[in-house]
Amino acid sequence: DTEVTQTPKHLVMGMTNKKSLKCEQHMGHRAMYWYKQKAKKPPELMFVYSYEKLSINESVPSRFSPECPNSSLLNLHLHALQPEDSALYLCASSPSLAQGYEQYFGPGTRLTVT
């Protein structure tokens, strides 16, 4: 099984809402990532978890809150978002954080903030 799954596929939320994005992998990977991708731009790294601990936070605003409940799951909690946060949110996983390990991406959640 080389699949990373993400739910929901699409999400529309108001600026006062609280919602969560979910990511799951069953490949035994110990590193998991959140990326944000705007139209016609490359993915931008947001957070990295390694062995269920937050390893990298790319100075992301606190309205985005990541959580790694176990080695297979990664959540991204959203609160008080702005319209400019509308984007495709991608989850990825890799066997390890070390160099040389390829990342596998999920299909993404397309988020629209109204």
Partner 1 sequence: QKEVEQNSGPLSVPEGAIASLNCTYSDRGSQSFFWYRQYSGKSPELIMFIYSNGDKEDGRFTAQLNKASQYVSLLIRDSQPSDSATYLCAPVGGNEKLTFGTGTRLTIIP
- Strand 64-70 relative to strand 87-94: parallel, antiparallel, unpaired? unpaired
* SS3 state of residue 85: helix
> Which residue in 18, 26, 38, 41 binds partner 1 (CB under 8 A)?
41
Q: How many residues bind partner 1 (CB under 8 A)?
A: 19
Residue among 21, 23, 46, 48 that touches partner 1 (CB under 8 A): 48
Inter-residue contact 20 to 75 (CB < 8 Å): yes
Q: Please say whether the beta carbons of 110 and 9 come within 8 A.
A: yes
Q: Which stretch binds partner 1 (CB under 8 A): 16-24, 65-73, 74-82, 99-107?
A: 99-107
Q: Counting contacts by CB under 8 A, is residue 98 touching partner 1?
A: yes
**Per-residue tokens: 27:** 């490949």
Coil/strand/helix, residue 59: coil
Q: Does 30 bind partner 1 (CB under 8 A)?
A: no
Binding site for partner 1 (CB under 8 A): 41-43, 45, 48, 56, 88, 90, 97-100, 102-108
